[in-house]
């Protein structure tokens, strides 16, 4: 197991996010990384020499098996650290991402294993995203958008999209958290907003809020 720079790891993670095992265009990667295309061309050339990606000039970049393995291990660390920050240190789920962006680059298998156990061997992070296992297996991606249910359904919130600070703020002010259960009271034929009900009352959720909140039938 060689050791990689933070920049390299960020490229690998971006590639995994954008394409999984499929090719990704130079432009998309540049956008995601926040660098210019020319920098990306260079960077992926370096990654190619380390057999982390296959590069076809003008066509796209694709993670190798080795690259995918690395991507998952970084994602595992990212999501474990987010879990630590929320569960143990009491951070809000909107605050943890930038911190995990740093912590995910700490290198130590031993540390990851111990952290995992310390957190109670979690399968999902504070946003409900699956935490890759040691061996690279992925737990299920949970839930479907709230808008996909029908009136009368009893649902439990299991995942939220990372849709920016304002979205998380809105969740907070509406007191919506993972694990909350609601009944679908109504779905507006006009604007697709949804009325959720619980023991404490009911409220309406806009379509764009609903699109970023995932639930399962409970």
Partner DNA sequence: CTTTTATTTTAGGCAAAGCTAAAAATTATT
Partner DNA sequence: AATAATTTTTAGCTTTGCCTAAAATAAAAG
Give the footprint of DNA on this chain (CB under 7 A): 5-8, 25-27, 30, 33-43, 46, 55, 57-60
Size of the site for Mn ion (CB under 5 A): 3
Q: Tokens in use for 160?
A: 């939220």
CA separation for the pair 151, 194 (Å, rounded): 9
Q: Does 69 bind Mn ion (CB under 5 A)?
A: no
For DNA, the closer of residues 32 and 185 by Cβ is: 32
Cα distances (Å, whole numbers) of residue 73 to 69, 111, 151, 166, 196: 6, 13, 40, 29, 38
Q: Which residues pair with 156 in a beta bridge?
A: 181, 216
Indicate which of its own copies, Mn ion, DNA, none lies near residue 38 (CB less than 5 to 8 Å, by partner kind). Answer: DNA
Shortest Å distance, C-beta 105 to its own copies: 8
For DNA, the closer of residues 24 and 100 by Cβ is: 24
Indicate which of its own copies, Mn ion, DNA, none lies near residue 88 (CB less than 5 to 8 Å, by partner kind). Answer: its own copies
8 A C-beta contact, residue 81 and residue 103: yes
8 A C-beta contact, residue 116 and residue 80: yes
Q: Does 101 bind Mn ion (CB under 5 A)?
A: yes
Residues lying near Mn ion in the complex (CB under 5 A) are found at 10, 97, 101
């Amino acid at each position: 197991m060689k050791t990689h720079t933070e920049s390299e790891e960020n490229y690998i993670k971006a590639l995994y996010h954008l394409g999984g095992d499929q090719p990704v265009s130079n432009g998309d990667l540049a956008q995601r990384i926040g660098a210019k295309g020319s920098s990306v061309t260079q960077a992926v050339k370096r990654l190619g020499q380390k057999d982390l990606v296959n590069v076809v000039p003008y066509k796209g970049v694709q993670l190798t098996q080795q690259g995918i393995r690395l991507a998952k291990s970084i994602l595992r660390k990212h999501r474990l650290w987010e879990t630590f920050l929320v569960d143990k240190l009491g951070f809000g789920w909107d605050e943890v991402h930038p911190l995990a962006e740093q912590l995910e680059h700490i290198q130590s298998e031993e540390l990851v294993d111990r952290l995992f156990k310390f957190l109670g061997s979690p399968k999902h992070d504070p946003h409900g995203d699956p935490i890759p296992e040691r061996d690279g297996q992925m737990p299920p991606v949970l839930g479907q958008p709230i808008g996909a249910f029908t009136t009368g359904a009893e649902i439990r919130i299991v995942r939220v999209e990372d849709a920016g600070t304002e979205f998380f703020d809105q969740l907070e002010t509406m007191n919506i958290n993972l694990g909350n259960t609601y009944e679908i009271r109504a779905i507006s034929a006009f604007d697709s907003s949804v009325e959720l009900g619980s023991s404490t009352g009911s409220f309406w959720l806009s379509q764009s809020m609903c699109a970023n909140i995932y639930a399962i039938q409970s």
